[in-house]
Every structure is written in C-alpha cells, then in structure tokens.
Amino acid sequence: MCNLLCMFFLAYVTLTCAFRYGQEDIDVMGLTFRKDLFFSRIQLYPPVEKWESLSQLQECLMKKLGNNAYPFVLTFPDYLPCSVSLQPAPHDVGKCCGVDFEVKAFCTENVEERIPKRNFVRLLIRKVQYAPEEPGPQPQAETTWQFFMSSKPLHLRARLSKEVFYHGEPIPVTVTVTNNTEKTVKKIRVLVEQVANVVLYSSDYYTKAVAMEEVQEKVQPNSTITKTLILLPLLANNREKRGIALDGKLKDEDTNLASSTIIKDGIDKTVLGILVAYKVKVKLIVSGMLGDLTSSEVSTELPFRLMHPKPEELNIRVPRMKTWYLRSFLVNSCKIWMKMRIRLFLQMMSDLENRLLEELRGLMVVTNTLGCSFLFALNCQVLLL
C-alpha cells in the first residue's frame, strides 16, 4: 500500500466466519438469513504492533514488495466449524446454505461507516480437518433375523478394511450372509450414506445416498455366501442431488463431498454449524410368500470417516492463488491510490474552473456595464446633434 494513500485512510484486515441459512433471493425486509459466528479485526496501517514471527512466504514477499508491504497474522479459535455447505438444486442461484470464512482488507477514514466496494478486496478461505494419525478400530457389525414360521435365523455380517478413508479412495465392503432359513435372499445392496445434521438453528438431519452397489446373486436356503463390494463416493456422481454436504468451495476450484466432522472434547455442538457423518448400510432383500409384494429387508450399518489425509510436509505449500491474491491486493491498493489522486486532481480542476468561471462572469459584468455606458453616451451625443 502506498504511503501517500495512508495519509488519508486507515487500513484494516478482518476475518469473518458466518453461517448462511438460505440464498440471497429469499432475503426480505433487509434481514439476511445469515449469522456471524466469529469476527476479528486488526489494524494494518498505521501498524500498531510489529509481528516478530513471520512465515517464509511473508519474508519473501516483504523482500520482494518492499516497505509498502505490511504482514499480518489471523488466529482461528478451536471452536469454529469447518467450511461446509449444502449443495443447492441445479436451478438455484446465489449463495447456498453453509459455513464460510472471509478475509477482507479495506481502507477507510471511519471504520464504523459502510465500506464502498472500490475500497476493499476480499478472499474466501476454508477451514478443514485432516484425518487423525491414529485411526480407530476396524468397523464391523452383524445382525441376526428370525422370520415367522422359520426355525433357524438369517445371519448377516459386514466389515470394512479400516475406519478412515480418503476422498477418492475406493471403499471395499465384505459381506457374509448365512441363510439357515427356508427363504431366499434375492439381492445384496450396499450403500454409502451421508448424514448432515444442521445443529445451529435446528436439528434437521439430511440423509443422502452418495454411492451404491448391488449384487443380484441369490442366496439359497441353507447356504452361505461371502462377497466384497467396492464403493466409491464421489461428488461427480451426485451433482444433481440437492442437500448433499460439500466442503467449502473456493473461487475457480472444484470441491468434494464434505469431510467427516471430528468433535473435540468440551466444544458446544450448537456452534459447529453442520455436522457430517458417513456410514455404510448393508441391506438384504428377502423373498416373501407372495413374491416381491411381501419381500422384507434385513440391514446393518457400519460408521466410518471420510476425510483428507494429513500433509506430510510441515510447511504446507501455499497455493498460487493466495500469492495472486496478495498481488491483487497491492494492485487494487495502487488503483485506489490512483483514483484518489485523480479525484483530488479533478477536484482541484473543478475549483480552478469555478474560479475562472467566476472571474469570467465578473469580466462579463464589467464588459456589459462598460458597453451600456458607451451606448448611453453615444445616444446622448446623437440627441445633442
């Protein structure tokens, strides 16, 4: 930021975490469906404190940009939710329901006044949770179902290879069916269900199937079968489903299904916005006495976590977009400075023009007065003749 600009303005940087209830087109009577969960503001210029510990990127930018670059540090409290949004319908426009984070840098004379768009730049950022280093136990579940007029039960057992899976990683599900009944198991259906719990303003649950596989192989009476089905939950296969929880999206970047929420001890769930969980549901379709009309289902569930892997490098490489954002902030600051200089110049020219117009008006008045006096004297001479 240029020093001449800062003679007239103060520079601030803010961090805002907000939960949006709905879209922009349903905002009525000036009341937006939005709640700010966290707000932090620091004064960037004139600097009120000197940052001692700078990152490697900040040090490089300070050397490259010179004395007009001012670093800052924003702190995230532990209780803030992750960036999650609910996927809108294809015909919906505007901002969707969810949690977002925004960093805004602006210049103003009075921080309490409304900031015009030409005086600020902003950047959407995300808060994500990485998979824990120590995974939990291997998920497995089993159930036994006793049918009416059947002396022996139907036994279903399912298990996963591990508890934590990464986005884009196939999920193998091993299903073992022991059919000791006189009925026939017609289908084995395996689904991955996403459960999104909106806890901020209500206790709504949105359960959506994001992946499904089915085996048409029948399990005859008094027989056992073991099958391994591969599931791959991807956003690309669920673009048309409304209400699916997604990770926060950045500009010009695609996103993915929302990661599982890890709740830390001592944190109130109601401030976490949207809680996301995943489970594998195994269903057996069992034939009835009247065929498909009286078929029944036997099911069990396996909870698991779908998350991003923790980066191996300690110093996470900063995406180019953030560097471009810093450059755009500098460019926009220079643009604001140029606009201010042009505005001051135009104001000076306007004042000068007003002075010239006043002087011209005075000259015109004097000229008109002299002209009238000359004509009056000429008329008097004509009358004397």
DSSP for 16-41?
A: EEEEE-S-GGG-BTTB-SEEEEEEEE
User: 49 and 146 in one domain?
Assistant: no
Q: Would you place residue 384 in the very low, low, confident or very high pLDDT band (cuts 50, 70, 90)?
A: very low
On whether both 72 and 202 belong to a single domain, the answer is: no
pLDDT in tens, 141-181: 999 988 877 778 889 999 999 999 999 899 999 999 998 88
Percent of the chain at pLDDT > 70 equals: 72
Residues 291 and 271 in one domain: yes
Least confident piece of the model among 12-26, 74-88, 109-123, 142-156: 12-26
Q: What is the CATH number of the domain that holds 25?
A: 2.60.40.840
**What's the number of domains the chain is made of?**
2
Sign of CA dihedral 242, 255, 267, 276: positive
Please tell me the distance from the alpha carbon of residue 112 to that of residue 6, in angstroms, as a whole number: 18
Q: What average pLDDT does range 94-104 have in this prediction?
A: 79
Domain-located, residue 378: no
Do 104 and 177 lie in one domain? The reply is no
346 domain-assigned: no
Let me know if residue 75 belongs to a domain: yes
Q: Given a cut of 80, is residue 53 above it in pLDDT? A: no
The model's pLDDT over 21-41, given as tens digits with 9 standing for 90+, comes to 765 545 555 556 777 888 888
Yes or no: say if 283 and 191 are a contact pair by the CB < 8 Å rule: yes
Of 158 and 354, the structure prediction assigns the larger pLDDT to: 158
Asked if residue 360 belongs to a domain, the reply is: no
Residues 228 and 331 in one domain: no
Separation CA 234–CA 215 (nearest Å): 20
Q: How confident is the model at residue 3 (pLDDT cuts 50, 70, 90)?
A: very low
Confidence of residue 1 (pLDDT cuts 50, 70, 90): very low
Instruction: Please check whether residues 208 and 302 belong to one and the same domain.
Output: yes
What's the mean pLDDT in 109-122?
Answer: 79
What is the domain extent for residue 281? Answer: 140-307
Structural domain contains residue 68: yes
Quick one: 182 and 214 in the same domain? yes
pLDDT at 17 over 70: yes
Dihedral sign of CA atoms 240, 242, 244, 250 in order: positive
- CA separation (Å) from 118 to 105, 125, 322? 11, 21, 20
Do 235 and 166 fall into the same domain?
Answer: yes
Which of 30-34, 53-57, 351-355 has the largest mean confidence? 53-57
Q: Say yes or no to pLDDT of 310 above 90.
A: no
d(CA 145, CA 178): 11
Confidence of residue 80 (pLDDT cuts 50, 70, 90): confident
User: Which CATH number is 186's domain given?
Assistant: 2.60.40.640
Q: Are both 71 and 146 inside the same structural domain?
A: no
According to the model, what pLDDT value does residue 176 have? 93
Q: 124 Cβ partners below 8 Å, 6+ apart?
A: 100, 101, 102, 248, 250, 251
Would 268 be classed as within a structural domain?
yes
pLDDT of residue 286: 87
Query: Which residue from 288, 301, 282 is spatially nearest to 147, judged by alpha carbons?
Result: 288
Q: Which residues pair with 304 in a beta bridge?
A: 278
Pairing of strands 185-198, 204-215: antiparallel
* In a shared domain, residues 159 and 275: yes
pLDDT (mean) for 294-314 = 83
Residue scoring higher pLDDT (31 or 139): 139
Domain boundary among 307, 327, 360: 307
pLDDT value, residue 378: 45
Instruction: Between 200 and 233, name the one with better pLDDT.
Output: 233
Comparing 34-38, 236-240, 351-355, the range with the smallest average pLDDT is 351-355
Q: 123 lies in a domain?
A: yes
Distance CA 274, CA 18 (A): 12
| Residue of 5 and 353 predicted with greater confidence | 353
247 φ, ψ to 5°? -70, 150
Provide DSSP, 270-303. GGS-EEEEEEEEEEEEEEETTEEEEEEEEEEEEE
Summarised one tens digit per residue, pLDDT across range 316-343 is 444 444 444 444 444 455 555 566 666 6
Are residues 184 and 271 located together in one domain of the fold? yes
Confidence of residue 248 (pLDDT cuts 50, 70, 90): confident
192 and 298 fall within a common domain: yes
Per-residue pLDDT at 327: 46
- Least confident window among 121-135, 178-192, 233-247, 340-354: 340-354
Dihedral over Cα of 102, 105, 107, 109: its sign: positive
Domain presence at residue 248: yes
The residue with tokens 């673009």 is 239
Average pLDDT, the chain: 76
State the pLDDT at residue 370: 57
Mean pLDDT across 220-229? 90
